[in-house]
Amino acid sequence: MTNLGSYACGCIACTDQVRGGLARRGFLHLAAATAVTLAPISGRAQSSGGYRAMLLSCVDPRTQAPIADWMDRPVPESHTIGLRGKYSQCSIAGAAVAVVAPAFEKWRQTFWDNLGASIQLHGIRALLVVDHGDCGALGIAYGQRVLEDPKLELVAHMADAKRLKEELAVRHPDMDLQAWFIHRDAQGAFTQWKSLIAGPVIS
């Protein structure tokens, strides 16, 4: 275990503090170092990581692996390259539903703050939204009747994706958006994909 009491830092600020308490010279060095460390990020970051997008998806455990697999391999209508390690992610119950449905109004700013941070930190240019079938958050937002009727369910997801696109255009007009819907096959596995809103293909 490191003995923090005997640890001696070699930086100028800390050396001055040790020698003269909070002497004026040491304090100024410390203040300058702190100012550099805590300087806010401004503008779009010039990221060298090759990051492409943020994924907005639901917290439902059933969809985590299928969505990750889909992101990791090229999909001609969405991304021409596997996106593993090239996207940030915001997981929130309902995905697009969470961002626009009145029932989840208190959650909205959290998403927008996270998106803004990823734009600054990672230089992303696209938002990739994945809603899914049998989403409990949709039932909370609009009622079980909507959730249990496949036609109404799809219409609700489509409408919320469109509202999200409109809001994105106001807040971040230079950002692209794709919206997708993953639903279950006859065996109950989430393998079926449908485009809700087409956008520029990510490459």
Task: Give the tens place of pLDDT for each residue, 24-33.
Answer: 444 334 333 3
What is the per-residue pLDDT for 29? 42
Percent of the chain topping pLDDT 90: 76
Other CB atoms closer than 10 Å to residue 158's CB: what's the count? 17
Report the DSSP pairing between strands 126-132 and 87-91. Answer: unpaired
| CATH no., domain 53-197 | 3.40.1050.10
d(CA 31, CA 141): 49
Residue 36 has pLDDT above 70, yes or no: no
Cα–Cα separations (whole angstroms), residue 156 to 53, 64, 81, 153: 24, 22, 30, 5
pLDDT in tens, 67-119: 999 999 999 999 999 999 999 999 999 999 999 999 999 999 999 999 999 99
d(CA 17, CA 49): 38
**Which of the four pLDDT bands, split at 50, 70 and 90, describes residue 35?**
very low
pLDDT in tens, 37-54: 333 333 443 445 799 999
- Under a CB-based contact definition with an 8 Å cutoff, are residues 180 and 129 in contact? yes
pLDDT in tens, 117-148: 999 999 999 999 999 999 999 999 999 999 99
- Under a CB-based contact definition with an 8 Å cutoff, are residues 58 and 135 in contact? yes
Global pTM? 0.77
Which has the closest alpha carbon to 177: 140, 131, 146, 137? 131
What are the structural domain ranges in the chain?
4-37, 53-197
Four-CA torsion 5, 11, 12, 15, nearest 10 degrees: 20
**Which of the four pLDDT bands, split at 50, 70 and 90, describes residue 16?**
very low
